[in-house]
Structure 1
Amino acid sequence: MSSAELWLFILTTLTSTLAGICAMGGGMILVLLLPLFVTPGAIVPVHAVTQLASNGSRLAFNLSATCWSLIPLYLLGSIVGVTVFSLFLVQLDTRLIPLFIACYLLLSLWSVRVDRLMSRFENFFIIGALQSGLGLLVGAPGPLAVTLLYKRLSDKNAVIATASLFMLIGNICKISVFVVIGFRFSEYASVLLSTVLGATLGSWLGTRLRAHIPAQLFFPLIKGLLTLMALWILFRSLYQYLN
């Protein structure tokens, strides 16, 4: 394992642990870190496989708490969203992906108008379409489903288990699209091995720490950290694109 892959393993473990505690934040932080390790065109597909492991293992550790009645509507929305957004993906200059990710995250974190707009889509079909569809372009579209789940479900374990299944559905849809358009996952086998192992370990740690650490403690930290990272990626990507 190279030093870069070791760092990826450590960072993925930490972000997956955070997601295991809070049901959010880990995937968004990871998608901002990946430009340091992979080419722009590989950010979203590598992130999708990593999150497949993270969400799949987290779901396995909390399967009994899943609220299955919410799944069909979200699944249908995900399929529709990925189908529509894949039309944009094939036209997108891969060099613009880090810029797009950074701008999207900053708007979702700080724009009142964007926040109000997203709050109107409190329907699991629409949330599934947006979360999975936008995920093709930005990797981690933010806690759209998690926010709604916290309103509908009182048990934190149920929120985390159901959110994990939601995101697992989105990951499978995204990976399927990248397979169809010819992305070569085999070229990133060693990177994916590091991230998948870290994601699985993080899910295990997060599941065990969840009962002892209030998730609310992390929310201000997550917002501040995501903001700084998004600004850094924005300026770094702009410089690279213009030069």
Structure 2
Amino acid sequence: MTYFLLIVATLITSLTSGVLSMAGGSILMGIFGFFLSVPAAMVLHGVTQAASNGSRIWLHRRHVQWNVFLPYTAGSLLILLLFLILTFVPSKGVMFLLIGSFPFIALLIPNKMAPDIRRKPVAFVAGLLVTTAQMLAGVSGPVLDLFYVKSSLTRHQIIGTKAITQTLGHVIKLGYYAMFLNLSISLPQWLFFAVVPAAIFGNVMGKILLVHIHDHHFKRIGSAVILLVSSVYIAKGLQELLS
């Protein structure tokens, strides 16, 4: 029953991400964290989100801003090297606190201070910060969103460009935490084959719905959803650390 719930959650959150380009990954990571160990949650989330974002790359391939990807990748690989040296795995309490805190931290930063990811040095810094967030919390959407606030990209360009950078981050996270999976519970192989089509189908449906949503509503709905869910995850993180 638990695995069935994880598959349904993957479908629903992929649909959410396909429409809003935010919130879905964070919600899904929290759900996985409720039922699985940190390494298992990171690995399964990495598989689903790599498939989800990877399909989004194809769906929005004409809108991807490729000049952002190379410097972003350089920053991401540097963080991977650091984690390989440290071999660090966060506790479940820390993971939930970070998942819940990122959106509120993002709100505290004024829009006028938000950097534009279209600049190559900024894209490199984004790779450093966003990948660090993914490795510690499993998600990084609210952190990555900061680099798009001042950009003049359309919602389709944002979704396509975020998809390719997020896919890279989830593949890195998946590969890293797979090394620790033997220290915790094993996941049945069929679960991985089930969540991938669920993630892709959710994205296809999200793209269909996307054309009916205005840019203004697109950003407002996403912000409200992620802040509500983040409050729940902060409470869960505190409970884990204090128990």
Fold-level match, TM-score > 0.5?
yes
Q: Measure how far apart 1:86 and its partner are.
A: 5.0
Sequence identity percentage = 23
Judged with a 3 Å threshold, the aligned counterparts in structure 2 of structure 1 residues 94 and 21 are, in CA distance, closer, same or farther, namely: closer
Q: 1: distance between equivalents of 2:229 and 2:159?
A: 25
Within 2, Cα distance between the matches of 1:225 and 1:89? 33
Q: Which residue of 1 aligns with 2:214?
A: 214
Query: Which residue is equivalent to 1:119?
Result: 114
Amino acid in the other structure paired with 2:160? A
Return the offset for 1:27.
Answer: 1.1
5+ long unaligned stretches in structure 1: none
Distance 2:3 2:215 in 1: 29
Q: 1:162 deviation in Å?
A: 1.6
Q: List per-residue Cα deviations over 1:117-163 (Å, max 9, x = no partner).
A: 98258500010111112200111122444453464454432221121
Within-5 A mapping of 1:93-112: 93-108=91-106, 110=107, 112=108
Structure 1: which amino acid aligns with 2:35? Answer: F
Any gaps of 5 or more consecutive residues in structure 2? none
What is the CA–CA distance in structure 1 between the aligned matches of 2:142 and 2:103, rounded to whole Å? 11
Secondary structure in 2 aligned to 1:90?
A: coil
Q: Do the aligned residues in 2 keep the contact of 1:22 with 1:218 (CA within 8 Å)?
A: yes
The residue type paired with residue 205 of structure 1 is M
Maintained 8 Å contact 1:98/1:237 = yes
Structure 2 counterpart of 1:159: 158
Amino acid at match of 1:242: L
Q: Deviations over 1:25-47 (max 9, x none)?
A: 22122222222332234232222
Residues 1:91 and 1:70: Cα distance change in structure 2 (over 3 Å): closer
What is the alpha-carbon distance in structure 1 between the residues aligned to residue 153 and residue 234 of structure 2? 37
Matching residue within 14, 17, 23 for 1:16: 14
Relative distance call for 1:97 and 1:231 in structure 2 (3 A) is: same
Q: In terms of mean alpha carbon deviation, does 182-191 or 12-21 score higher?
A: 182-191
CA distance, structure 2, for counterparts of residue 239 and residue 145 of structure 1: 27
Contact 2:47 2:174 in 1 (8 A): yes
Residues 40 and 94 in structure 1, CA contact (< 8 A), matched pair in contact too: yes
Q: Check whether the contact 1:15–1:27 (CA below 8 A) recurs between aligned residues.
A: yes
- Cα deviation per residue 1:1-60 (whole Å; 9 max; x = unaligned)? x3x333322322222122222322221222222223322342322221111010011112
Decide whether the 8 Å contact of 1:59 with 1:165 is kept in 2. Answer: yes
Work out whether residues 16 and 54 of structure 1, in 8 Å CA contact, stay in contact via their aligned partners in 2.
yes
Match of 1:81 in 2: 79
Contact 1:76 1:128 in 2 (8 A): yes
Q: Distance in 2 between matches of 1:216 and 1:20?
A: 16
Using the TM superposition, name which of 18-27 and 126-135 deviates more.
18-27
Give the 5 Å matches for 1:23-102: 23-86=21-84, 90=88, 92-102=90-100
Q: Aligned in 2, Cα 1:91/1:121: closer, same or farther, shift over 3 Å?
A: farther
Q: Which moved more, 1:230-239 or 1:45-54?
A: 230-239
Distance 1:10 1:217, change over 3 A: farther
Decide whether aligned partners of structure 1 residues 106 and 42 sit closer, same or farther in structure 2, where only a CA change above 3 A counts: farther
Contact 1:102 1:231 in 2 (8 A): yes
- Matches of 2:94 and 2:168, distance apart in 1: 26
- Indicate conservation of the 8 Å contact 1:41/1:95, yes or no: no
Equivalenced residue count is 237
Contact 2:52–2:199 (8 Å) recurs in 1: yes
Structure 1 residue matching 2:234: 3-state secondary structure:
helix
Counterpart-to-counterpart distance in 2, 1:163 and 1:195 = 21
Partner of residue 196, structure 2: 196
Q: Does the 8 Å contact 1:41/1:94 carry over to 2?
A: no
Q: Which amino acid aligns with 2:164?
A: L
Following superposition, the deviation at residue 203 of structure 1 comes to 1.0
The RMSD of aligned alpha carbons is 2.9
- Compared CA separation, residues 70 and 120, structure 1 to 2 (3 A): closer
